[in-house]
Structures are given as structure tokens and as C-alpha cells.
A = this chain, B = another copy of it.
Amino acid sequence: MLNERMYGLGSKRSTIRELFEYAKVRSAEIGAENVFDFSIGNPSVPAPDAVNETIKRLVAETPSVALHGYTSAQGDKTVRDKIAENYARRFGAAISGDDLYMTCGAAASLTITLNALYETGDEVIVFAPYFAEYRVFVEGAGAKLVVVRSDEKTMLPDFETLKKAINPHTKAVLINSPNNPSGVVYGEDVMRKLCDLLKAKSGEYGKPVFLISDEPYRELVYDKKTAVPCPMKYYKDSVVCYSYSKSLSLPGERVGYIAVNPQATNAKAIYAAVCGAGRSLGFVCAPALFQRVAAECDGMTADLSVYKRNRDLLYNGLTACGFTCIYPDGAFYLFMKAAEADTQAFCERAKKYELLLVAGDDFGYAGWVRIAYCVNTDRIEKALPLFRKLAEEYNLCK
């Protein structure tokens, strides 16, 4: 009498949610200061001051009906024009406001894009480790998720496996850089190689294999040399899915965008299908006030220095203990190899020290764990001696 898939999705708690609930219970038992919850990817730094200042100014200055009224379905025109102008200047890809569709955040950007492109029999390729909701979104659109395992040394795409996975049913390759859960950033060389392959395959099949670039962590990179390459400069059949959740620290407000590369094959038709998918899924427009906040604050970031400090402290501390870690150039996650074959058993052992880690199984990558370091720095300082004890149990320390 109801939809079994939806019931399954709604009734099965995710591992992350389980850990979150466990942390609450455990905190009540032994005090929150003694529980080290590295499970949740929730920004821990405030939004830039400009966010609240913009809210206050808009509320004071704008008539209510204009401020809180419907915008057009694709987003307020002034908002789109301003963000597009910034985009062109920041990334060197000439897009206009008519190529942008404002969304209720990254999840909406992805479901709308996937539904807009989906045709019967389609497959969408992702690289493991991958954000667990990708499976939900891809299957929700009707398509099949095809997982290509990344190279364990680098967590970068394995091109040999990718070549074999792409076939005439492949509608798109979906990338996420900086990556959740590995923190890895795809550099220019990887982007070029990937796009060259997609060009060749598109040519071979006589129809585009799209590149969908999910970029909620785009601004969260910690070294000057590391910048996220703009996919539009490498490949015409590309769609960028963005969210302001992490860059501006406002994940609860649900605002982001889809940028359809104006050079894409049938770009205008794709944009129309995006509008249609937004309508069909029940997104009338992105939240009006926060559309305007996003336009005002586009390109700004919350204070990311805490994340960088945490990254350095954690990576250096864990490798000093003998753990094998992927160096995270971006996002606020560190991917660490479990010190035994059974990932769940490793996580349980970490729990003994009150260290709450997410098993890589959730990201299609068993044998590894994700550590979310978007926490106060003192949590990491206090956790490192516990990680050392965990390492000692496995004789990792040199």
C-alpha cells in the first residue's frame, strides 16, 4: 500500500545517522568532551558576516511582497546574471544568467540534472569512494549506477577500468572533486585525461557522454597551488552542480545552482529539461531570500583556516602513528586505511577509544574509513593520543 523503495530509504538509518545517535547517547553517559564524533560533514565555522548582514539589509530595505515572493522558476534574473558574471570572471568560462538554474542545494542540483537527462536504459558512472547518496539520486532518476573503483594509492580515477565501463548506455560520468569522502582534488592532468576520454567516446557513439561535476566543496582547498579545474574549459558536454552549503556554511538554507555549459550539444534543450525536471520534482523556485544572499556573497567563503589547521594536525598526527592516509587537498574529510581487513571490526575497536569513524563500505570502498574534521581543533588535539593507542593495538607505530 506504499512505495517499497521509498519506505526502504526512509526506514533504514544510514551508518552516519546511527553514529550520530550513538554519539548523543554516549555523550549523555560519559560527557560530550569524552566522545570524538568524526562522523558528520556539517560545517563547523560560522557563515561569513556578510551573510547575516545581507539578510538584515534585505529585510530592512526590500518590500515584503518583492522579497518573499516567487522568483521565476529558474531563479531571480538579477541573481542569475550576477552569479554568471562572477563565474565567468573567476573560472574563465563564459556563461550567462540564462545558463544558470538556481536550486535548493546540491542534492536538488543532482536530482534535477539526472532527471533532466535520463532516458530508458541509461547508466551513470561514479568513482568509488563516492558520496553514498549518489546511488539514491541516480536510481531515483531511473538510471543504473555503475561504480568504478579508484586507485588505492591516489584515490584518483583508474582510467583502464573506466574505459571498460563506458558503453553506449553511459549517459554521464559524475565526479566530485574535492571528494567526499577522500578529500582528493582532481588536478588539471586528471581533468584533461578524463575529458579526452569522454570526447573520444562521445565521438565513437555519435552522442554526448556528459560530465556532471558535483562541486559543493569547490572553494574548500587548502594549498595555493591546488585549485579545482573548471570542467567547462575542458569539455563542452558538461554540467556543473553547485551548492553554497559548505563555502558559505549554510547547509540548512538550501541554495545552490546548476550551470549548463552553453557550448554543450543542444544546450538550450538541456536547460529546458532542467526546468522541466525541477517542476516535476516539486521545486518551484530556490528560496528567494537566500538566492539574493547567495548572489551577494558568491565567491566569498567562511573562515577556512580552521579546516586547514585541522587537516594538517590530523594528517600529520595519524601518519606519525603509522596509519596509511590519503593526503586531503580539499573538503573536510580524511580517508584512512583500516588497520585490519574487517572495516567494521576496526571501527568497533576505534569506538572503544570513543573515536567515531565512518566505515568506507558506505562509500563503496571497504577497507577504509572516513574522518570528518569539520570540528573544533581541540577535538583533534585530544583525539590524537587515542588514535595512537588504537595504532598500538595493531603494532602500527614505528
Contacts and interface: CB of A to CB of B under 8 A. Distances in A.
Interface string A103-125: 01101111110011111000000
A253 interface: yes
A7 B276 contact: yes
Interface string A250-286: 1111100000000001100111111111111111111
A208 interface: yes
Contacts of A277: 3, 6, 9-10
A140 B283 CA distance: 12
Q: Tell me the number of copies of this protein.
A: 2
B6 A252 contact: no
Residue of A44, A119, A207, A252 with most chain B CB atoms under a 10 A cut-off:
A252
Given A136-B280, A249-B68, A282-B108, A270 B116 contact: no
Contacts of A111: 280-282
Contact of A289 (B115, B253, B278, B283): B253
A22 interface: no
Contact of A282 (B5, B63, B137): B137
Interface residues of A, number: 79
A287 B284 contact: no
A1 B136 contact: no
A195 interface: no
Contacts of A45: 65
Interface in A29-55: 42-47, 51-52, 55
Given A6-B280, A10-B276, A55-B55, A252 B289 contact: yes
A263 to B, nearest CB: 15
A252 B207 contact: no
Contacts of A55: 55, 59
B52 A65 contact: no
Contacts of A251: 68-70, 284
A290 interface: yes
A324 interface: no
A273 B2 contact: yes
Contacts of A282: 104-105, 107-112, 137, 140, 281
Interface string A317-351: 00000000000000000000000000000000000
A41 to B, nearest CB: 9
A46 B59 contact: no
Contacts of A11: 269, 272, 275-276
A86 interface: no
A1 B44 contact: no
Interface centre among A4, A70, A272 (most CB of B within 10 A): A70
A327 B284 CA distance: 29
A56 interface: yes
21 contacts: A1-B266, A2-B270, A3-B273, A4-B119, A6-B116, A10-B277, A43-B69, A51-B68, A52-B59, A55-B55, A68-B252, A69-B252, A71-B252, A105-B282, A108-B283, A111-B280, A253-B287, A253-B289, A254-B284, A254-B287, A254-B288
